Structure 1
Amino acid sequence: MTFEAPSVIAEPLPYEAKLASRLLGDIDLVVIHCTELPDLAMAREYGERALYDSGTGNSGHYYIDRDGSVHRYVAEDRVAHHVRGYNPRSVGIELVNTGRYPHWLAAGHQAMDEPYTEAQIASLIELLRQLSAALPNLRFIAGHEDLDTTQVPASDDETVSVQRKLDPGPLFPWARVLNEVALKRLLP
């Protein structure tokens, strides 16, 4: 059983059926990401890449483009690979945003200065409300940066450490989103 809002465009990844299945009652967390890629087409290309022996790759469940359109790549009853340690209990939502692209881990390129569009945030809030109504145990929300705080050597200077994941980043409107939905921010 999967959740299908009328405004969601279902575009399953080729390997969706190979992802582990789960009960909707197992989901209690939504993780907000940004793609850190220039556009939805490139995010789709990255999502389609098979990276594991199972024939699956890394992807969120939902992608929200700058125009507010919502695309579902993985159904909620499947475990998508989007955040270390939290995948079995969470739904991943990716917002199209350049983030640190293309020098994700360069010490001198850690600013995330592309604002999210009004259409993206409005669609995100509506999707979160719909997910809350459809998933009986959904209680928490977190940013990828909240859950993966791993430090790695910078790609341009191995003597400097940078945080591996910074999304959704400093321009994400946490106060607004938390005010609009009945989810509590999960901070480890």
Structure 2
Amino acid sequence: MVPMPPPELPVESTPLPYEARLDARPRAQIDLVVIHCTELPDLATAREYGERVLYADSGQGNSGHFYIDRDGAVHMWVAPERVANHTRGYNPRSIGIELVNTGRYPRWLDANHQAMDEPYTEAQIVALIALLKVLSDDYPALQFIAGHEDLDTTTVAAEDDPAQTVRRKRDPGPLFPWDRVLRQVRLKRLEP
């Protein structure tokens, strides 16, 4: 039996240090959720990566809006009314949700290390579905969902063998339960 989500979804808000520098946007602009996996070992490491300032001119870094840990705990690091840097070309219209998962860590771009074999936990998927329902209620323009791998199909030279190419982004990957999630939310999968 699939556990039901809690009646209220607790969300821990711990804004990133540069959140106020991210562009503000109207709620009506948000029509897409992008599902990611952190491709890092744990939430603490993801936070460390999220706090890194990568764009000196703006003082910003890369992060999603929400992070869901393996135990189902939901963390908001960027308010949805701010544009987070999580998916090239789609940031102004989307909310990024990161699921803690090792993905291809630590050799993301090695040709001989492209398997993404850590399953998502039941607690993560239950929390994700609950969060998607809350977001759908709170953001009336929200109608689409996509995986990072759907939207960023760029290939790059493999770091361990430059003669081969690999996908730059593969998340959330082959173990993400798309059918289950789509059956339980009103969002439609975006086909770019």
Cα shift at 1:126: 0.1
Residue deviations 1:100-138 (CA, integer Å, cap 9, x gap): 000000000000000000000000000000000000100
Task: Specify the alignment match of 2:126 in structure 1.
Answer: 122
SS at match of 1:157: coil
Give the Cα–Cα distance (whole angstroms) in 1 for the partners of residues 159 and 36 of structure 2: 21
Unpaired segments ≥5 residues, structure 1: none
- Aligned twin of 2:183: 179
Match of 1:85 among 81, 85, 89: 89
Which residue identity lines up with residue 92 of structure 1 in the other structure?
Answer: G
Give yes or no for the alignment of 1:41 onto 2:44. Answer: yes
Q: Which amino acid aligns with 2:45?
A: M
1:111 maps to which of 75, 90, 115: 115
Within the candidate set 16, 31, 49, 1:28 is matched to 31
Q: Which secondary structure does the structure 1 equivalent of 2:97 belong to?
A: strand
Partners of 2:64 and 2:9 lie apart in 1 by: 19
For 2:120 and 2:80, the matched residues in 1 are separated by: 24
- What is the CA distance between 1:6 and its match in structure 2? 5.1
Q: How does 1:134-145 map to 2 (within 5 A)?
A: 134-145=138-149
Alignment match, 1:54: 58
Q: Which amino acid aligns with 1:29?
A: L
- Aligned equivalent of 1:156, options 160, 165, 188: 160
Give unmatched runs, 5+ long, in structure 2: 1-7
The partner residue of 1:15 within 14, 18, 27 is 18
Percent identity among equivalent residues?
72
CA contact (8 A) 2:38 2:101 kept: yes
Q: Tell me which stretches of 4 or more aligned residues in structure 1 moved more than 2 Å.
A: none
RMSD: 0.7
TM-score in terms of structure 2 length:
0.95
Letter in 1 for 2:18: Y
Q: C-alpha distance in 1, partners of 2:34/2:191?
A: 11
User: What count of residue pairs does the alignment treat as equivalent?
Assistant: 184
Letter of the 2:90 counterpart: Y
Deviations 1:49-94 (A, max 9, x none): 0011100000000000000000000001100000000000000000
CA distance in 2, matches of 1:184, 1:154: 33
Per the alignment, residue 169 of structure 1 pairs with 173
Corresponding residue SS for 2:72:
coil
Q: Is the 8 A contact 2:84 2:96 kept in 1?
A: yes
